[in-house]
Structure 1
Amino acid sequence: MSQDRSIAAQVVAQIVELIHAERMAAGTHLPAQMLADRLRVSRSPVNEALALLHEKGIVTREKHRGFFVAQPVKTLSAAEPDAVTTAYFRIAEDLLNGALPMEVSEQAMRTRYALTAAQLNAVLTRIAQEGWGERKPGYGWQFSTMLTTPDSLLQSYRMRLALEPAALLEPGYRLDARTLARLRAAEQHLLDGGIETDTADQLHERGVRFHEALVEASGNAFFIDAIRRVNRVRRLLSYRSMRDRARYAAHARQHLHILSLLESERNEEAAQAMRAHLEHTLAALARISEVLRG
C-alpha cells in the first residue's frame, strides 16, 4: 500500500465514523471541504477516501454536486480497527504510561508496533495533525510534554471554563436550526445506548463537535481558533478518561439542556449552564485522577 493510499484508508474509517456518530441519513451531502475541516486534513486524501467509499457503495456521487450518503446509518458497520488505528492507540497508551520515550526514531516505532513504512507514516500524520507529536529536524520524532500529565487535562478544562461561556454571549450569536438538530440527535444517540457501544474515537469526536459547534456559532475567529487548539491538546488524556463512562449520561443531558436554552435564545442562562457543565466535568476528572495516571 502506498503512503497516500494508507492515509486515505485512515480517512475512509474516519468518514465512516463521522456518518455513524452523527446518524447521517441516506442523501446527506458530504462536502469535501467540510470533511477536510472536520478531520483536519487536506482535501486530497478526503477526495480519495470519498472515491473509495463510492466504490464500496457507501456514498454516491452526483455530477457537479459531490458526494452523498448512500446507505442508512444502521447498515453501516464501523470498520474493525486496522493496523494504523491499533498502533495509534498503543502509542498513545505507551506514551501516557511512560513506556515510550518522548523522543524516538521512526525505525524504533516501526519495530515496536510491527508497522510498514506507509502504516507508520499514516499514524504519525494523524499524531502531527492532532498536535501531540512532531518530526524532529533531521531525524526522529518528539512528543509534547503538555499531553502526558493529568494536570494538562485539568488545565485545558480551566481554559475552556473561561472561554466557552463567554462565546455564548458574543453579539450576534447564532446557532442555526440544522446544527442544533444534528447536535441534539448525537446526544440522544448516547442516551439511547451509544455510551456503551461507541468507540473512544466516536465519544471524543462527539464531545469535540458539540463544543466546537457552539463556539463556532459565536462568529468570533479568536474563540474558534482557541477551542480547536485546546481540543487537539486534550485528546490523549480524554481517551484515557473514557475508561469511566458512567459520567457520560449526565453530560449528554447537560448538553441537551444547553441546546434547549440556546434554541430559546436564553444565552445568559445557556452560558451559566455551560459553566456549570464544565465545572461538573472538572470535578469528575479530579475524582478519577488515578485513572488518568494509568
Structure 2
Amino acid sequence: MNQDRSIATQIVELIQAEGMPVGAHLPAQMLADKLRVSRSPVNEALALLHEKGVLTRERNRGFFLAREVAAPAGELATQLGLTEPDLAGAAYFQIAEDLLQGKLENEVSEQLLKARYGLTATQLNTVLKRIAQEGWAERKPGYGWEFSSMLTTPDSLLQSYRLRLALEPAALLEPGYRIERKTIERLRAAENHLLSGGIETDTADQLHDRGVRFHESLVEASGNPFFIDTIRRVNRVRRLLSYRSMRHRERYPEHAKQHLHLLDLLARDRNEEASAAMREHLEHTLSALAKISQILEP
C-alpha cells in the first residue's frame, strides 16, 4: 500500500476517533507523534487529504479539518480512494500471530521474512520499523532481527496490567493534576463512538489505540514525566498480546461506560474518587483477561 495513502487513512481514523470538529488544526508534528512516524510522510498524507477535500490549508498555519467526518473511517477511506490491499499491515499481524504460536524463531533474517510473507524490501522495512517502534523486536548488530521474549506469554499481559494498576490511580492524585476540558470532551466522544457501534466495527488497531489514548491522556495530565514515560513504554510493548484479547469484545461496552464515569469524575475535580474508580476499572480488566488467558497461549 502506498505509504501516503496508508497514513492518510490513519489520519482519517484519528480525526473520527478523537471527534475533531470542523476547523480543528492538525499539526504535522502532533500527528507524527501519535502515529509514530516521521513528519515527511505525514505532510504528504495531509497534502493528499487536502486534495480530497477533507482538509483545508492556510498559508503559514498548516492544515485544518474542512468537513465533518461522520461516516465510518474505513468507509470514508474507500470513498476517497485511500484504500488498497494492505500487504504490509496483513504481514504485521501474521508475524505477530506466528511469533505467539511459536512458528517463528526468536532470531530471523530479513531475507527469510521477505520470502515467508511475500513482501518487497520497502514493505518489509515498513513492517519491521513498526515492530521495532512498538518494542517487540530489534535489529541485531550486523545482521538479522531478534524478537523480544518479554511479551509472548499470557503472564506478560497480566503483568503489564499489574504495573498499570500501581501507576495509573496514583497519577490521578499527583499535585497540580490538570486535565483540559477539550481533552475530556475528545475522550468522551471516542467512548460514545464505541457504544454507538464502534466496538463491533473498529479494527483491533483502532480499539487498541483508543484505549491507549484514553489512559495516556489521563496520565499525561499529571504532569509527572516519570509516570508519562512509563505508561507510554508499557503501552508500546503490550500491543502484541492486546490484539489477541480483542477477540472477546463483549467486555468493551462495560469498559467504555467505566471510562465515561472516570471522565465525569475528573470533569468535577473529584480526583480521589477518580483514582479509586481507575483502580476498580483496571482490576476489572485484569480479572476479565485472566478468565480468557487461554487465548493468549501458543
Q: What TM-score, normalized to structure 1? A: 0.94
The aligned counterpart of 1:73 is 69
Secondary structure (helix, strand or coil) at the match of 2:269 reads coil
For residues 156-214 of structure 1, the C-alpha deviation after alignment (integer angstroms, 9 at most, x for no partner) is 00000000000000001011000000000100111111100111111000000000000
Matched letter for residue 50 of structure 2: H
Q: Secondary structure at the match of 1:146?
A: coil
Identity %: 73
1:163 counterpart letter in structure 2: L
1:196 counterpart = 2:200:
yes
User: CA-to-partner distance for each residue in 1:212-241, whole Å, 9 max, x for gaps?
Assistant: 000000000110000000000100111110
**2:51 aligns to what?**
55
Q: Which residue of 2 aligns with 1:208?
A: 212
Distance (whole Å) between structure 1 residues aligned to residue 296 and residue 264 of structure 2: 32
Q: CA deviation digits over 1:6-30, x for unaligned, max 9?
A: 5544433322221232232332211
Comparing 26-35 with 154-163, which one deviates more in the overlay?
Answer: 26-35
1:32-58 per-position Cα deviation (integer Å, ceiling 9, x unaligned): 111122122222222222223223333
Q: Tell me, what secondary structure is at the counterpart of 1:24? A: coil
Q: Which residue of 1 aligns with 2:286?
A: 282
TM-score (norm 2): 0.93
Alignment of 1:64 with 2:60, yes or no, is yes
SS at match of 2:250: coil
CA RMSD of aligned residues (A): 1.6
Give the one of 106, 109, 113 matched to 1:105.
109
- C-alpha displacement of 1:128: 1.1
Instruction: Tell me the distance in 2 between the aligned counterparts of 1:292 and 1:187.
Output: 26
- Segments of 5+ residues of structure 1 without an aligned counterpart are none
User: Which residue does 2:31 correspond to in 1?
Assistant: 35
Q: Distance in 2 between matches of 1:246 and 1:29?
A: 35
SS of equivalent residue, structure 1 residue 57? coil
The number of aligned residues is 290
Would the aligned equivalents of 1:10 and 1:122 in 2 still touch at CA under 8 Å? Answer: no
Show structure 2 runs of 5+ residues with no match. 78-82
1:293 to 276, 287, 297: 297
Quote the Cα distance in structure 2 between the aligned partners of 1:59 and 1:97: 43
SS of 2:56's partner is strand
Supply the distance in 2 between the matched residues of 1:70 and 1:112 (Cα, whole angstroms).
43
Determine the C-alpha separation between the residues in 2 that align with 1:172 and 1:132.
34
Report the residue type matching 1:280 in the other structure. H
1:41–1:129 contact (8 Å) kept in structure 2: no
